[in-house]
Amino acid sequence: MTSGIEIEVEKNVGVLAINRPKVRNAIDKPTADEIAAALDDFENDREVRAIVLTGRGGFFCAGMDLKALTATGQRPITDSRGAFGVVQRPPAKPTIAAVEGAALGGGLEIALAADLIVVADDASLGLPEVARGLVATAGGVLRLPTRVPRAVALEMIMTGAPISAERAHRIGLVNDVVPAGTALARAIDLATAIAANAPMAVRAAKAVAVSAVRWDDADGFMLQRRYTDPVRESADAAEGARAFVEKRPPVWQDA
């Protein structure tokens, strides 16, 4: 069976590319299973400190492969990570989506499962589900209001109309807009910069930032210690201080 994804690891960055360009990288059940398994491997690989999600052939992802669904009756939902192999349990490690072309419906929901998003200047992003009598239940209507102003999120959710890369950047939905064909390179640059930092500290900082939206300020200072105390007591915290004093690059142990 031909794989629906490609995997690459270089300089502490794992790249997962959906490789089904003939269907605009739409995801069927076998591909969702492959994505979930690949993300599990990245999470368990100590050499991988940051993850990039992208698509081949000038496309990011068209969401669910409806032809495959019709033929098999199988939705691209995994037991471990939910729809598309990622949206219900995204990686704990920093994750960046590199978007070329359109990220509509499930494609945008996959991008929203990432921490950062880089898009090509000709990309479009949207949740067209309501125009098809559906709701974006793979994280779209849940996550979009946490990433952009409420009024803009509701506009996108209720009209189903896509927005341009430029507008996505203006409202803070994406981190960077780059010339077409260069989104992956820029995402890898960001991932490499993240991977240069202490991996335990980065994971803990991400976990606190993600969890903090559910915490009151009064509780947050105590609740964050679950993540931050082990970092403070780690070998890497001591190494960071030594490297600063000795004016050299730190050598992280992730411990």
| pLDDT tens by residue, 41-51 | 999 999 999 99
Q: State mean pLDDT over 154-176.
A: 98
Percent of the chain residues topping a pLDDT of 90: 96
Residue 218 pLDDT more than 90?
no
The conformation of residue 132, written as its DSSP 8-state character, comes to: G
pLDDT for the residue numbered 92: 96
Confidence class for position 217, pLDDT limits 50, 70, 90: confident
Confidence class for position 240, pLDDT limits 50, 70, 90: very high
CA distance 96 to 126: 18
Residue 120 pLDDT more than 70?
yes
Q: Contact at 8 Å (CB) between 215 and 223?
A: yes
**Mean pLDDT, the chain, whole residue set:** 96
One-letter amino acid for residue 23 of the chain: V
pLDDT for the residue numbered 216: 87
One-letter amino acid for residue 111 of the chain: A
Ordered alpha helix ranges (H), 62-182: 66-72, 106-113, 140-147, 150-159, 165-170
Kind of pairing, strands 163-164 and 124-126? antiparallel
pLDDT for the residue numbered 168: 98
CA distance 77 to 63: 12
For 82-105, write each residue's pLDDT tens digit. 999 999 999 999 999 999 999 999
- Is the pTM for the entire model greater than 0.85? yes
The conformation of residue 107, written as its DSSP 8-state character, comes to: H
Cα 195 to Cα 93, 150, 162, 210, distances in angstroms: 10, 32, 32, 19
pLDDT for the residue numbered 60: 97
Residue 1 pLDDT more than 60?
no
Residue 133 pLDDT more than 70?
yes
Active site (catalytic) residues:
109, 129
